[in-house]
Structure 1
Amino acid sequence: MGCPVVHFEIISDDAGKAQEFYGDLFGWNIDADNPMNYGMVDTESEDKGINGGIGEDMVDTGGHLTFYVEVPNVEDTLKRAVEKGGTIVLESMEIPGGPTIGLFNDPDGRRVGVIEA
């Protein structure tokens, strides 16, 4: 079985503005009540789609819209992405109180996130 897409992320210079925009536009419930002001998005779409997050760029990866794929090991996946022509944007990083993530650009420059299962 392949690795599933489990999360989307919108990173903005102004997280509050982006959270308001997307929340109002799509009717999403966004909870940013945390120290990082990272808005956890609940699309409230029952069994359809995935939830995500909207936050500010805290690690200088630039504003972006991406999706996260759940993988067994972030470091191994980033190494394989590079072997296949990708470039690492964010090395394997443990989010305080959360998962381990990483970011890479595919050979055409599209941003993809990976999150450890």
Structure 2
Amino acid sequence: MGRVIGFELNSQEPEKAEEFYSNVFGWEIAEAQWDYWPVTTGDSVKPGINGGIGKGPNDYPHGIRIQIEVDSIDEAVAKAKDNGAMVVREKMEFAAFYLAYLVDPVGLGIGLIQNK
């Protein structure tokens, strides 16, 4: 079962979003790397779902995407396409995981993550 493990808040003014969510909700926001600010929304006593704030790319300039962990990103992408999803970013490789972005049949953006 794929489970939601994170989120992305995309904005063309990520610094303004970072300030808002930090001030209003007390989220801990780390220094940016590649126009992406990692976000912690909880602690060991009351955990939350962590994510990030990023400068939205051309294919998703504004909006929120959940990130869903899958066992096999290739199988999940294929199954999603068979069920009407559109791939907006093919599988990308990072040090600890693979990531792909899709839009589901009703237009909602999602990210798929497979840990290495």
Q: Is the structural similarity TM-score above 0.5?
A: yes
Return 5+ residue gaps in structure 2 as ranges. none
Distance 1:81 1:49 in 2: 27
TM-score with structure 2 setting the length: 0.86
Q: What is the CA–CA distance in structure 1 between the aligned matches of 2:73 and 2:59, rounded to whole Å? A: 17
Whole-Å separation in 2 of the counterparts to 1:33 and 1:9: 13
Question: Could you tell me how far 1:73 is from its partner in structure 2?
Answer: 1.8
> Which residue is 1:11 aligned to?
10
RMSD: 1.7
The one-letter amino acid of 2:97's match is: P
Percent identity over the alignment is: 32
Alignment of 1:37-52 (within 5 A): 37-45=35-43, 46-52=45-51
Number of aligned residue pairs? 113
Q: What SS does structure 2 have at the residue aligned with 1:49?
A: coil
Residue by residue over 1:65-105, the C-alpha shift from the partner in whole angstroms, topping out at 9 and shown as x without a partner, is: 0111111122221111110011111111123x342111111
Residue 56 of structure 1 aligns with which residue? 55
Deviations along 1:11-42, whole A, 9 cap, x unmatched? 111211111111112110100243x1311111
So what's the TM-score if we normalise by structure 1?
0.85
SS at match of 2:76: helix
Asked whether the 8 Å contact 1:75–1:91 carries over to 2, the reply is no
Residues 67 and 113, structure 1, Cα contact 8 Å, conserved in 2: yes
Listed as ranges, the gaps of 5+ residues in structure 1 are none
Q: Secondary structure at the match of 1:21?
A: helix
Displaced runs of 4+ in structure 1, greater than 3 A? Answer: 45-48
